[in-house]
Amino acid sequence: MEMVQVRELVNLATQEVLGTDSILAEDLSNVVDIGNQIFDNNAFDNYVKSLINHIGRVIFVNRKYGGYAPSVLMDSWAYGSVLQKITAEMPEAVENESWELTDNTSYDPNIFRKPKVSNKFFNKRVTFEIEASITELQVRESFSSGEQLGAFVSMLFNEIDKSITVKTDALVMRTINHFIAETLYEDFNDGNYSANSTARCVNLLKLYNDSFDGDLTPEQSMKNPEFIRFAAYTMSLYVDRLRVMSAQFNIGGKARFTPTDMLHFVMLSDFSKAAGVYLQSDTFHDELVQMPRHDTVPYWQGSGLEYSFGDITEINVKTANDHDVHASGILAVMFDRDALGVTRFDRRVKTHYNPKAEFTNYFYKQDAGYFNDFNENFVVFFVA
């Protein structure tokens, strides 16, 4: 084991901590151990210089990962592949003849009024597999007990589970991103997102600048308290608007309503935190300015290299309708529970033991259907 004297460093650090000396350059290269992949030539005792250092403690990095994507998992089933969705349309009103009675006139009660019913069939699934080979016999020599060996194997399985969670989160987010892309394309098929604001594609920045004669940019808006309050106010209005029957909030133009308990509200973390700070800092009654219940995501598609505003608010996708959509400034989405989801989710593990080489192969398989229904309510909030 390498032993380093740090007398000079700790004396210098004491002066800096007590404020009796200015901040000076410090050499920490011999203080902090950054670890080695294998034992080096210092792994001997400091007495006879030939006894190999023993491992005194083993730490297994075995931390569960819960993921970050909103939960849109729906029910599953064992047989059949198709998800059939049946919807009916509201009938039109007809003349009430009870108040227009005419002598010697027949009123026919036997007219058949066929209800307007439509079907949608979802029959696509995606799949992936993760493979891992696990052995015990060959690594026993590296541990001191069965408990350590068990902890090592548990760590390996946990890494597989984390990998599956990361990949599943990515698929859920891409299901949401696909709906964002199609909604934006429907209202802005020329890609000029700053030109307007619509009922289901809400350009919060344009609404704010038009209302208050402002000239904020998308990046500036996230640090402007007045804009944050206006955006939070507008989003809160939509919780009530979606509860009322309307054909304005879905691509299909269908009459739909979304009760609050069936509403998914997903917000970018940066905006959620800004709203919490700017809304609650000016009042003693937090419940008066509290945002509606929502999930948060750190980004829609990826973080980029620096978590820049442009990266975390961006999507760049090709949709199932062959639409290329590249947009940024997305702050939040609201959608009906039936607008999108994960169905027929099937995760399973198959194993195969190789007796010749004495190891076990694990095959983690996952299938699921990820769907969008454009006849259901979906609203995008963005700045452009």
For the stretch 330-342, pLDDT in tens is 999 999 999 999 9
Number of domains in the chain: 2
Q: Is residue 336 part of a domain?
A: yes
What is residue 47's predicted lDDT score, i.e. its pLDDT?
64
What is residue 324's predicted lDDT score, i.e. its pLDDT?
94
CB contact at 8 A, 380 and 202: yes
CB contact at 8 A, 185 and 325: yes
- In this structure, are 181 and 101 located in the same domain? no
* Helix (DSSP H) and strand (DSSP E) numbers for the chain: 7, 12
3-state helix, strand, coil in the chain (%, to 5): 30, 25, 45
What is residue 285's predicted lDDT score, i.e. its pLDDT?
46
- In this structure, are 103 and 182 located in the same domain? no
- Whole domain around residue 196: which residue ranges? 126-382
What is residue 310's predicted lDDT score, i.e. its pLDDT?
93
What is residue 9's predicted lDDT score, i.e. its pLDDT?
82
Q: Is residue 212 part of a domain?
A: yes
- In this structure, are 230 and 331 located in the same domain? yes
What is residue 288's predicted lDDT score, i.e. its pLDDT?
43
Least confident of 220-229, 263-272, 289-298: 289-298
- In this structure, are 101 and 142 located in the same domain? no
> Over 80: is that where the pLDDT of 284 sits?
no
Average pLDDT over residues 182-195: 95
> Over 90: is that where the pLDDT of 194 sits?
yes
Q: What does each C-alpha distance from 336 to 72, 176, 226, 333 come to in angstroms?
A: 11, 12, 29, 10
- In this structure, are 232 and 96 located in the same domain? no
Cα–Cα distance, 54 to 43 (Å, whole number): 9
- In this structure, are 184 and 273 located in the same domain? yes
Cα–Cα distance, 372 to 265 (Å, whole number): 16
Look up the pTM and report it: 0.85
What is the enclosing helix (H) or strand (E) of 120? strand 117-122
| Better-predicted residue by pLDDT, 52 or 280 | 52
Bridge partners for 74 per DSSP: none
- In this structure, are 95 and 193 located in the same domain? no
Which of 121, 144, 177 is a domain's end point?
121
What is residue 182's predicted lDDT score, i.e. its pLDDT?
96
Residue reference for tokens 């003693």: 284
For residue 228, how many C-alpha atoms fall within 13 Å in the half-sphere facing its CB? 23
What is residue 11's predicted lDDT score, i.e. its pLDDT?
80
| Better-predicted residue by pLDDT, 38 or 217 | 217
CB contact at 8 A, 298 and 292: no
- In this structure, are 231 and 343 located in the same domain? yes
Q: Is residue 189 part of a domain?
A: yes
> Over 90: is that where the pLDDT of 45 sits?
no
- In this structure, are 100 and 203 located in the same domain? no
Q: Is residue 5 part of a domain?
A: no
Which of 121, 147, 172 is a domain's end point?
121
Q: What is the mean pLDDT of the chain?
A: 88
**Percent of residues, the chain, with pLDDT higher than 70:** 95
Cα–Cα distance, 62 to 159 (Å, whole number): 8
